[in-house]
Amino acid sequence: MLEKYFKGFLLSKNWKLKRTHDLEELLDKIVEYDPSFEEFRELSQEATAFYFFERYPFFGSELNRSEVEGIYNKSLELIEKIEDQFS
């Protein structure tokens, strides 16, 4: 879901759509438009790892509940920040 929000934000800035699932790569572009998004760097890295481990489970390790909840809550903060850009 974060990927869609990132790409939606970038498309609103006339960014040319690129096929990627790397949230950190997308965040690099977002930060060019709004440096305050830098606070979501670690989240972008963790969420990208989730995607990779979901697609290729034999490479991953299990996360504990508190890690997942932390990433989820930070994701909600990011989504709210992006939505605020359009209100």
pLDDT digits (tens, 9 = 90+) for 1-44: 899 999 999 999 999 998 998 999 999 999 999 999 999 999 99
What distance in Å separates the CA atoms of residue 9 and residue 15, rounded to the nearest whole number? 9
Helix, strand, or coil (residue 48): helix
- Check residue 61 and give its pLDDT: 64
Cβ atoms 8, 29 nearer than 8 A: no
Task: Say which residues have a Cβ less than 8 Å from residue 11's Cβ, sequence separation at least 6.
Answer: 17
**pTM, 2 dp:** 0.82
Cα separations (Å) of 1 from 20, 58, 75?
13, 23, 9
pLDDT confidence bin for 65, thresholds 50/70/90: confident
pLDDT confidence bin for 68, thresholds 50/70/90: confident
Q: Encode 46-58: b = buried (16+ Cβ within 10 Å), e = exposed.
A: bbbbeeeeeeeee
